[in-house]
Amino acid sequence: MKLKNILTISIVTLLMACEKKTDQVEGGYLLNVTMKDYSEPYIYWDMGEGLDSMRVDNGKFSISNTLESPQQVNFRAKENIDQSFIIYLENSIIDASVDFSKDRFNDPDFIEVRGSEAHEIKRKIDWDVMKYSDQKYKGASDMALAKYKTETFYFLLKANPKYINDAGFEQAYYYFAFYLPTAHFPYEEAKQLLDIFKDKYGDTERFKAMQRKIDVALKRKIGTPFINYTINNTEGEEVKLSDSYGSRFTLIDVWASWCGPCRKENPNYKKILKKYKDRGFQIIAVSLDNDKQRWVDAIKEDRTYEFVHVSELNGRKDLLSKTYGINGIPDSFLLDKDGIIIENSLRGEGLTETLEYLYAN
C-alpha cells in the first residue's frame, strides 16, 4: 500500500511537471509560439551564445529570458531549412503563430506576432518598404526603386516617432548594409533617413558605418571624376589609367579570374569593343586577383587581348575597391573622354543600349 501511494504521487507530480507552462522571467520576455505544419520534434535558434533548442509539443513551444535591447532571432528546423522564421524579441509577453503551409517570403499571413512592438516595426518595414514596393513598382529602374523604398522608410518613421528606437535603428542599419545598392544609390533620400536617427544614435559605430556608405556612394555619382591612379599591367609595367582612356568613352570593368559572372560578360565586351573601338571606345579591365598566374591564364582563356589589363594583385584590398565600396563583382564604370562617370554597374543589354544611345547622339 505504501509503495502504491508513492507511485501514485510520483506519477501525479510528473504529469504536473509536464503540464507546467513556461513563466515570464521578471522584467524579461515570454515567447509563446504555435506552428502549423512544422515537421520536426525540435526548434533551434541562436541568440549570440551558440545554438539552443527546445522540444516542440503539438506544434507549440515557449521560451523565456531577459534582453538588454530588442533582438532579431531566427528560429529554424535542424534539417529542413525552409522551415524557419524570424521574430523580433523584446521584454514583454509575445504570442506568435506560424503557418508553414503559406509562402514565408511572399505571404504576410505566414507569421503573426502580437506583443512585440519591435517586431511590428520589422513587419512594417519588410512589407511596406521592401516587398510591396517591389510588386507595385515592378519594372522600375534600380535607382527609382531605391529612392521609393528609402523615402517610404523615412516617412514611415516620420509618421511614427515611437519607431525611432533601438529596433527601428537596427532595421535601418540592415537596410543600409544589405539592401541599398552602392551603384544606384539614392543619396538625398538615404541622408534624410539617416538624419532622423542622428540625435540619438549619431555617436554609434553603426551610424558612422551608414554615413560611410553614403560618402562612398557619392564618389560613384554620375558627373563625378573617376580616380586617376597608376597600376601595373600583366608585364609589371606601370600604367596611368587616364593614359589608356578612349577618345570618347571608356568602360572600367572590375573583375577577377575566379568570378564566373564576370567572365561570362567577356564575349559581349569583345563584341562591343570590336564595334566601337575605331570610334573612340576602350575597355580597361581591373582585376581583383591575388594570383598573377591565374589572372594571366584567364586573359588567355577568354582571349581578351585587346582590353587594357591592370591589377594591384591585392584582391579586395586594392585602391579601387576601397574608394568605391566594391563588395561584389562584376562591377563597372562608364566614363567620358575626360574620365567623368556617365554611369556605373552596366553590363549585358544595359551597356549595349547605353552605348548605342551615346554614339547615336
CA 358/CA 246 separation, integer angstroms:
14
Q: What is the pTM of this model?
A: 0.69
Residue pair 65/24 in contact (Cβ under 8 Å)? The answer is no
Does the pLDDT of residue 327 top 90, yes or no?
A: no
Which tens digits make up the pLDDT trace of 166-200? 888 988 998 888 888 777 788 899 999 999 999 99
Identify the residue whose cell numbers are 520589422: 122
Question: Do the first three CATH levels of 2-115 and 230-360 match, i.e. the same topology?
Answer: no
pLDDT band at 19 (very low <50, low <70, confident <90, very high): very low
In degrees to the nearest 10, what's the CA dihedral of 99, 101, 103, 109? -40
CATH architecture of the domain with range 2-115: Sandwich (2.60)
Residue pair 30/24 in contact (Cβ under 8 Å)? The answer is yes
CA 109/CA 123 separation, integer angstroms:
11
pLDDT band at 10 (very low <50, low <70, confident <90, very high): very low
pLDDT average, residue stretch 115-132: 77
Residue 21: what pLDDT? Answer: 56
Return the higher-pLDDT residue of 22 and 342: 342
Listing from the earlier edge strand, what are the strands of the sheet with 281-287?
A: 308-311, 281-287, 249-255, 331-336, 341-344
78-83 long-range contacts, CB within 8 A, separation 24+:
78/40, 78/42, 78/44, 78/53, 79/40, 80/39, 80/40, 83/38, 83/39, 83/40
Q: Residue 265: which residues within 8 A CB-CB, separation 6 or more?
A: 253, 255, 330, 347, 348
How do the domains of the chain map onto residue ranges? 2-115, 121-218, 230-360
Does the pLDDT of residue 241 top 70, yes or no?
A: yes
Residue 344: what pLDDT? Answer: 87
pLDDT band at 131 (very low <50, low <70, confident <90, very high): low
Does the pLDDT of residue 357 top 80, yes or no?
A: yes
Does the pLDDT of residue 18 top 80, yes or no?
A: no
SS3 314: coil
pLDDT band at 136 (very low <50, low <70, confident <90, very high): low
Please, what's the largest Cα pairwise distance for the chain?
106
SS3 64: strand
Q: Provide, rounded to the nearest whole percent, the portion of the chain with pLDDT above 70.
A: 89
Which residues share a beta bridge with 255?
A: 287
* Residue 95 CB-density burial (10 A; 0-12 exposed, 13-18 middle, 19+ buried): middle
Which tens digits make up the pLDDT trace of 295-322? 999 999 999 999 999 999 999 899 999 9
Does the pLDDT of residue 48 top 90, yes or no?
A: no
Does the pLDDT of residue 17 top 50, yes or no?
A: no
Helix then strand then coil, in percent of the chain rounded to 5, is 45, 25, 30
Residue pair 29/89 in contact (Cβ under 8 Å)? The answer is yes
Residue pair 3/43 in contact (Cβ under 8 Å)? The answer is no
pLDDT average, residue stretch 17-45: 82
Residue 5: what pLDDT? Answer: 46
Domain 230-360 has CATH 3.40.30.10: yes
pLDDT average, residue stretch 323-336: 91
